């Protein structure tokens, strides 16, 4: 029996509100359920100590999200949590609050290389495992009109850094990617699949 079949004999919970992560886990072929409605608010919380290493924030946030589910795991359950950060220099770009903040973020990314780091935390009844993956994204210079078109038509206000790599801005604006494309979307599927083998 291969790993995928063994995983599908487990109850897997994807503790995320992200439609991109849901889509990516479906692409792997893993059957899973989503969190209960009362857990959604907690999953959205994003707090961390100010002295945290900027490249460790995503993994720390994923582990924090995982804590909510510690008491609900039985012998056949695996919970997966994830968080993605966009890092420019020594600064994390979160989700834009509005259109003007989206413009500001995309201008910060324009013509530069930034990091996208996704932290993943996995837990069953006996152990917890966490890891992170980093991809580098280089944008061509983005014109004001391209930024306005993207924000008006795609409204990426639920996305860190104010963009989705799989959307129009990624198709026309990305010059180079180093690392996993799927990690930039929000889930490093390649590493996740390998790490899940230790839970079988």
Give the number of residues written for the chain: 200
Q: Are 162 and 114 in contact (CB under 8 A)?
A: no
Per annotation, catalytic residue among 83, 124, 144, 146: 83
Q: DSSP state, 33?
A: B
83 is catalytic: yes
Using the Cα atoms of residue 58, residue 60, residue 61 and residue 67 in order, give the sign of their dihedral: positive
Q: DSSP state, 34?
A: P
Q: Which two tokens stand for residue 107?
A: 């201008």
Catalytic residues: 83
């Amino acid at each position: 029996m291969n790993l995928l079949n063994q995983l599908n004999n487990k109850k897997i919970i994807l503790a995320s509100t992200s439609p991109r992560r849901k889509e990516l886990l479906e692409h792997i072929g893993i059957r899973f359920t989503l969190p209960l409605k009362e857990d959604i608010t907690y999953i959205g919380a994003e707090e961390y100590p100010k002295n945290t290493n900027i490249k460790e924030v995503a993994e720390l946030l994923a582990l924090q999200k995982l804590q909510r589910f510690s008491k609900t795991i039985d012998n056949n359950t695996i919970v997966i949590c994830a968080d993605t950060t966009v890092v420019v220099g020594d600064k994390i770009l979160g989700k834009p609050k509005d259109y003007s903040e989206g413009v500001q973020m995309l201008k910060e990314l324009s013509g530069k290389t930034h990091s996208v780091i996704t932290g993943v935390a996995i837990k069953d009844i006996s152990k917890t495992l966490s890891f992170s993956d980093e991809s580098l994204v280089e944008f061509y210079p983005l014109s004001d009109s391209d930024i306005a078109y993207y924000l008006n038509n795609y409204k990426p206000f639920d996305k860190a850094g104010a963009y989705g790599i799989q959307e129009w801005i990624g198709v026309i604006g990305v010059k180079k990617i180093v690392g996993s494309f799927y990690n930039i979307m929000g889930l490093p599927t390649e590493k996740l699949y390998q790490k899940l083998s230790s839970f079988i």
